[in-house]
Copies of this chain bind each other. A is one copy, B any other.
């Protein structure tokens, strides 16, 4: 409390043609969301420059919304060491890898009319069911081509990724670049539904807990650790819980992009401060939550840091 009243708010000034990093520079002097967004850029840059292991928790329908290439590029540039995501993001990544597309729709629509036209809706994204049909056929072929027992979920995703022929697929590029993808709730997705169909006649042996060792080994061997959480859900908790049993003492860097609220008590909306009581975030960590739609905040942060690192 001794150093309050040290930093006057700097009123933001906007110029024509300013770059994203220049805009963030202006936001640094401001408060509320603008200030936190600028802080997230600082922390993300520091996290990339430090010699640590970088985790991305990636929840929400981010691939349908247009965030796929960003993650692919992060993997290619090795700015992610570990990806933890939902089954849905893998599924929608594969749909695009198999030639399907998501379409820009509207959120105010007659959903029963959509159903009659075999179009699935994800807020304002439309997805024709026929793309799912292609996905299902291709996935069954891939399952049939995998001849391993006792796989972990990560190993299954690597096997799938190696059979994907799309330079812009998260699953494909991650497999190629040896960036592990963890997806604890994989059964909770169209992959789970296809596994159900497939295992009615064939064998697909994937162990629920086998991932834990690989994941924990990564955590144990890391010098420094940083995490970017896009949304909450299983990816956020799975990344954070590892630190409870890791002797290092919690993440050194953490950025959370979310619209969930803390007051309802769920983990998705929990503050990063709360995570410190568990030892999930370190005592001296740099951490910030940006309360924003991730489709707005994520591109800004990545673009700004890209520009800074390129100077």
Q: Point out residues on A near B: beta carbons under 8 Å.
A: 1, 4-21, 23, 26-27, 29-35, 37, 59-61, 64-70, 73, 88, 96, 101-105, 107-115, 117, 119-126, 128, 153, 168, 184-190, 192-193, 195-197, 199-200, 204-213, 216, 231, 233-234, 237-238, 241, 244-245, 259-268, 270, 273-279, 283, 291-297, 299-300, 302-303, 306-307, 309-310
Contact = CB atoms under 8 A, between A and B. Distances in A.
Given A12-B67, A61-B266, A291 B261 contact: yes
Q: How many copies does the complex hold?
A: 4
Given A14-B299, A207-B208, A283-B112, A31 B276 contact: no
Given A12-B70, A107-B262, A192-B241, 4 more contacts: A17-B310, A35-B66, A192-B238, A193-B241
Given A60-B264, A292-B293, A293-B33, A111 B273 contact: yes
A310 B16 contact: yes
Contact of A276 (B65, B115, B153): B115
26 contacts: A6-B103, A13-B69, A13-B70, A17-B307, A19-B19, A29-B104, A31-B123, A31-B124, A31-B125, A33-B296, A59-B266, A60-B265, A111-B277, A115-B278, A115-B279, A121-B277, A184-B188, A185-B188, A188-B238, A193-B212, A196-B213, A204-B209, A206-B209, A259-B264, A291-B293, A292-B296
B60 A11 contact: no
Contacts of A265: 31-32, 60-61, 64-65, 122-125, 295
A296 B297 contact: yes
A177 B31 CA distance: 28
